[in-house]
Amino acid sequence: MRTVSETNTHDDRPLPLRERKKRRTRHALSEAALHLFLERGFDAVTLDELVDTVEVSKRTFFRYFESKEAVATAAEHELWDTYLDELANASLTGPVLDVLHACLTAAVRSMDTEWERRFLATRGLIARTPQLRDHSDLASLLTQERIAEQLGDRLDGTATSDVRIRLLSEIAMAAWRTAARRWVRANRETAFRPAAEPEHGQAATTRADLIDSIDATYAALGDSLTLQA
């Protein structure tokens, strides 16, 4: 039993002031970055500009984000963190590929609506900025590496199966990249507007579509291996 004063859902109050300030700075930076980048393009905005609008020193910026690309893809990084958490808490039973698939969709589902908005913006930027696409792909490869490590620790560690674990992680991420790219391509024009109109009756790009794309892609994995000319 916890005391009443200790709210456990989204408790922002009990956090030390210092921590709250940090969150606010981080949030302000990533929010302003998305806004500026969408407005004028990733390349056209310099870090000095971004840093000026948030009224923070450039030195401080790099205490929060490790690169200009990182602040634009923060939402994706959060997804990967959640994904890895899901996997860490999942029980490894049955086909491992199914577990990875389930963890990924669970991660996507568990993000809040704030995240969804930022993620859409990020993917919009990625779609029109090669540099960001590279950074995003790299992040997926890094995550894949982490997955392989985690699986390697938790499954039997025979050297023979090590190749299979690495391959499995690769394949799982391949499914993500394929699904995400398909999903982005289908929405290049319709979505990703700088100022998102809130309640457009039109069918907007939702995370449900993304999850559908993921499911469909995972389902196509088996066929792909044996694809005939």
Partner DNA sequence: TAAGCAAACGCCACTGAGTGGCGAATCTGA
Partner DNA sequence: TCAGATTCGCCACTCAGTGGCGTTTGCTTA
Q: What does the binding site for its own copies look like in residue numbers (CB under 8 A)?
A: 92-97, 99, 134, 137-138, 141, 155, 161, 163-168, 170-171, 174-175, 177-178, 181-182, 216-217, 220-229
Those residues with Cβ within 8 angstroms of residue 196's Cβ, 6 or more apart along the chain or in another chain = 117, 120, 121
216 binds, among its own copies, DNA, none (CB under 5 to 8 A by kind): its own copies
In whole angstroms, what is the distance from residue 88 CA to residue 77 CA?
17
If binding is defined by CB under 7 A, does position 12 make contact with DNA?
no
DSSP state of 206: -
Question: Can you tell me whether residue 84 is helix, strand or coil?
Answer: helix
Decide whether 45 or 191 has the Cβ nearer to DNA.
45
In whole angstroms, what is the distance from residue 155 CA to residue 142 CA?
20
Those residues with Cβ within 8 angstroms of residue 170's Cβ, 6 or more apart along the chain or in another chain = 144
- We find the least distance from the C-beta atom of residue 133 to DNA, in angstroms, to be 15
DSSP state of 73: T
78 binds, among DNA, its own copies, none (CB under 5 to 8 A by kind): none
If binding is defined by CB under 7 A, does position 60 make contact with DNA?
yes
55 binds, among its own copies, DNA, none (CB under 5 to 8 A by kind): DNA
If binding is defined by CB under 7 A, does position 68 make contact with DNA?
yes
Stretch that binds DNA, among 47-55, 73-81, 113-121, 136-144 (CB under 7 A): 47-55
In whole angstroms, what is the distance from residue 57 CA to residue 112 CA?
30
> CA gyration radius for the chain?
20
174 binds, among DNA, its own copies, none (CB under 5 to 8 A by kind): its own copies
DSSP labels, 1-61: ---TT---SS--SSS-HHHHHHHHHHHHHHHHHHHHHHHH-TTTS-HHHHHHHHT--HHHH
221 binds, among its own copies, DNA, none (CB under 5 to 8 A by kind): its own copies
- We find the least distance from the C-beta atom of residue 175 to DNA, in angstroms, to be 29
- Please work out the total of residues on this chain that contact DNA, with binding judged by CB under 7 A: 24
If binding is defined by CB under 7 A, does position 17 make contact with DNA?
yes
Residue from 30, 33, 36, 69 in contact with DNA (CB under 7 A): 69
If binding is defined by CB under 7 A, does position 57 make contact with DNA?
yes
If binding is defined by CB under 7 A, does position 224 make contact with DNA?
no
Which tokens sit at 20? 């709250």
Contact 121, 34 (CB under 8 A): yes
